[in-house]
């Protein structure tokens, strides 16, 4: 029986460019979906709060004048 651990010490083979780009595209898509899911689930309350809160857009000086 051949020792499978000896295969770990062999040099790595180069992967074709088409497979590399396909894997990179799939990883990017999964990261995008993960970020969108995170935005709409975990941060939903904070995002809704920041949209609903009224913030003053005009600056006032120390006397309360605009």
- pLDDT 10s digits, 20-58: 999 999 999 999 999 888 877 877 777 778 888 866 555
Torsion of CA 40, 44, 48, 49, to 10 degrees: -160
This prediction's pTM = 0.49
Give domain status of residue 29, yes or no.
yes
Tell me: pLDDT of 13 over 90.
Answer: no
Between 17 and 59, name the one with better pLDDT. Answer: 17
How far apart are alpha carbons 31 and 27 in whole angstroms? 6
Please say whether the beta carbons of 66 and 60 come within 8 A.
Answer: yes
Domain span holding position 26: 19-54
Give domain status of residue 4, yes or no.
no
How far apart are alpha carbons 40 and 57 in whole angstroms? 27
The total number of structural domains in the chain stands at: 1
């Amino acid at each position: 029986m051949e020792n499978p651990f000896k295969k770990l010490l062999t040099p790595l083979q180069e992967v074709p460019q088409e497979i590399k780009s396909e894997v990179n595209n799939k990883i990017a898509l999964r990261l995008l979906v993960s970020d969108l899911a995170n935005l709409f689930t975990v941060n939903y309350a904070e995002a809704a709060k920041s949209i609903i809160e009224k913030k003053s857009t005009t600056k006032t000086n120390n006397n309360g004048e605009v």
